[in-house]
Amino acid sequence: MKWKQAHQGMSILKNIRPSVLILDLSLPDMDGFVLGKMARELYSQLPVIVLTQLKLF
């Protein structure tokens, strides 16, 4: 599934159990790190792949 805003993703994540989360850190309505943490709180074993164009690293 694909969504453009974090709040859409969180409502979907609460209703399905994904096998992996591919996450962009540059979301318009929430920090991607925060969304990843919230997803891992729901599913502690959820693999998370992080993508970004930000020059943080």
Per domain, the residue ranges of the chain are 6-51
**Mean pLDDT along residues 11-33:** 85
- pLDDT at res. 30: 82
pLDDT exceeds cutoff 70 at 56: no
Q: pTM (2 decimals)?
A: 0.72
- Between 42 and 26, the higher pLDDT residue: 42
pLDDT for position 26: 80
Which single residue is written with the structure tokens 């969504």? 3
Confidence of residue 57 (pLDDT cuts 50, 70, 90): low
The 10 Å Cβ neighbour count of residue 30 is 14
For residue 34, give every residue at least 6 positions away whose Cβ sits within 8 Å of its Cβ, in sequence order, or none: 6
pLDDT digits 0-9 by tens, 31-45: 888 888 999 999 999
